[in-house]
Structures are given as structure tokens and as C-alpha cells.
Amino acid sequence: MSDVVMPRLSDSMEEGTILKWMKSVGDEVAVGDELVEIETDKANMVYESDAAGTLSEIVAQEGETLPIGEVIARVGEGGGGGAPAAAKKEAAETAGNGGDPEPRAATQAPPAPAPAPESAAASAPPAAGTTGDGRVKASPIARRIAQEKGVDLTALQGSGPGGRIVKADVESAGVDRAQPASHPAAAGREAEEAAGIGSVETAKGQTTYQELSKLQATVARRMAESKATAPHFYLNAEIDMSRAVEARARIKAAAAEGEIVPSFNDMVVKACAIALREHPRANAAYRDGRFELYSRVNVGVAVAGQEALVVPTVFDADLKGLRQIAANVRELAAKVRDGTVIPPELSGGTFTVSNLGMYGIDSFAAVINTPQAGILSVGAISERPVVRDGEITTAHLMAVTLACDHRILYGADGAEFLARIRALLEEPVSLAL
């Protein structure tokens, strides 16, 4: 018998939510078979079995959230038929771990003698929501929430299969306990709010409540932690992109039909990668009271996904040419938008570039993607008047802002790093070297 535990599918994953089981109890499972789809903090992934045999028990039901390492299923030796699996499921249900919706009687048990009148109450079937030994049937997450909220599980009526108490039952009970009994309508609205559904009428109008996805919750938590723990300071610069505009126009004119033409953002990624190689403290992190200096230069590129901001990684960007970076970024952005990006493509970044110039934003200050040392915010390129050699002319200017973690990237270091990025973009021939 092998336990299948909640796997770690990304470097920042702490828990996962079961979305869909690809196999049913009693199915034969081979190593590499798609077993279960799991929602992580970064993406939805199908987990492939690393054990072979018969899926004898599904411990975690669809919709349940469990921490890394918790048992979600069990795989037994193959060829045992359905009876052993059923027996194990019944044993798991008796232990309160969520097997079959209702206990099953043993098929070969001898007939029991008729109970005496005085023992009839003791032999009555268990109440809804309890097992044969009186233990309350509840999902693991329901038990955890009940403990946190001080809710008595024995007083609840479960809405899950076989009267099993699930997360929504406990949350609703917690709302009901806090709501005066004389306001049942208000209690119903609070229950809707707690469940993330429905809407209520307030002084602000019709207010709709929506639960965060695991990705949105992770972004919210990480950004709050970044602003609370990393001492940000900001450096602003204006880069003359006139030569970059000319260079890109020549590249575009010389490109064959269907050939990828690097964007200005691709040039920024390449310039950052070169500068990161030359300034190791910018390609590093402050963690647990020490500096982490990385040998690889992996630049994250912020992309607006369907639900939240996602940062896929261009690995070894300092070693790639502009066209390689352009192709890599386009592939990753497409995966983010159609939801097929996988956690390894979202991990391992050592620095991040965030560009809102395509939305007409002149300048902004992004939040550091901790534990990285900094993030570069890129604004729009616009043609504006400038003074050169005492004469008024025009230039294509782009505002950038470098956010630095002052625990590792100090003022002078950050200024030199940003100056190098500006120099590379103002003489873009160096990007091809």
C-alpha cells in the first residue's frame, strides 16, 4: 500500500486544492498515469502517479485544500479486485477520513440474532453525519476550520455525501453563531458573503462578494509581505530610445515574412540581463540575514493573466540573443493567457521587468517580487522635445523606475546598475554583442 501525498508542484507552494480526480477507486494505475488535477498558488497542474497498483482509496475529495505532504489517496497492489478496496474505504470511513458516503455491511457476515427490546436503541443505525462508532464525519479542512472557529461539529448537519460535514457547513455555522437569532435574513446574507457567493444591498449599492483564486490569494499575500518586510526605495531615469527605435525599424525591415521581430520590451530584458551579470548584487536576494548570489541570470517578465499578474521566467537571458528572448517571451505570454503555463516556467527568477508602456502609462513604481533585490518598471516611449547642443529637437524618451531592496541593493549600487541599463539601451548595438 502506497500513500499518495499532496505534492510540492512549485517552489512557493504551501498547499493545494484538489480540482478533479482522473481515476476512480478500483481503477488500475500505472507509473506516469494522470492521477489528479491540483490547483497550486501559480497554476493548475495534473499530477502523474509515481506508484503502480489499484487506486484503493481517495482520501481528499474534489474541492478540498490540503497542505504539502498530507495524504490525498492510497494505491494498493494491483489485481486485488474491488473487495479489498471497498474494505479499505469502509475502514477509512469508520476512522472519519472520508471514504464511502455511507458505511457498507460486510457481504459474508453471519446473520445477527434479533436484539432484545432493551438493547434496540443501542443497535439503531448511526445518526446522519456520524460513523458507526459515533465519530462525526467531516472533511479534514472542515475539522481544521471548526477548531479555529470553535464550532461544535456534533451540532452540525452535513451537506456532503452521506451527511458528511464540509467546509461550507462549518463556515455557515460560524456566521450563524455570530448573528443574532432575531435577524435570520441578515444571517443568510452573511452566510452568502462567507461562501463567496451572492450579493447584498448596502449604502454602496449592490455589493457582490467573490472569493480569491489560489493565484490571486498568493499574489495578495506576497505583495503585502514585500511591502511590509522589504525596505523599498526608488530610482527614476529617462532613457533616450531614439537609436533603439531606429534599430528596431531596421530589424523589422530586414526580417523575413513570419520571422519574429524583437520588441522594445525584449531589448529591455536583454539590457537588464547584461547589467545583472555585471552587477551581482542586483542579481541576488536578501534572505534569512544573508545575501544569496546567483550564478544564473533569469529575468522574470510580468504578464497580465486571466485572473492576476503572473511572472514567467526567461532563463539564462544574458546568454540568449534578442530573437531568442523575443520567441521565449511570446511563448510564455501565450501560455499565461490561455492558462497552460506550468510552475517550473514561473520559478527561478532572479530579477523582474514590469512594462505598462503598452497601456499608455508614462511611469509607475512596481512592488518588488521578493526575495529578489529589485524590479524595473518600464513606461511608454513617447516622442518629446529635448535640447541638444543648444538646439531644440525631438527624441523618443522612456521613463523607467528601479525599485530596490535596501537590505542588499544600496543607493550607489542601484544607481550604477540603472545607469548601465540606460547606456545599453541608448547604444543598442551592444545588445547584439
Catalytic positions = 406
Reference 230, options 25, 422, 10, 409; nearest CA is 409
Beta carbons within 8 Å of 375's beta carbon, 6+ residues apart: 351, 352, 353, 354, 366, 367, 368, 369, 402, 403
What is the helix (H) or strand (E) element at residue 374, kind and residue range?
strand 374-388
**Strand pairing report for 374-388 and 351-355:** parallel
Over its C-alpha atoms, the chain yields an Rg (Å, rounded) of 29
The grid cell for 274 is 547584461
Reference 266, options 353, 377, 363; nearest CA is 353
| Alpha-carbon gap, residue 400 to 86, rounded angstroms | 63
What is the helix (H) or strand (E) element at residue 94, kind and residue range?
helix 82-94
Amino acid identity of residue 258, one-letter, is G
Contacts of the segment 174-182: beta carbons below 8 A, 24+ positions apart: 174/145, 174/149, 177/149, 177/151
Reference 193, options 205, 180, 181, 176; nearest CA is 176
| Alpha-carbon gap, residue 404 to 235, rounded angstroms | 8
| Alpha-carbon gap, residue 424 to 272, rounded angstroms | 9
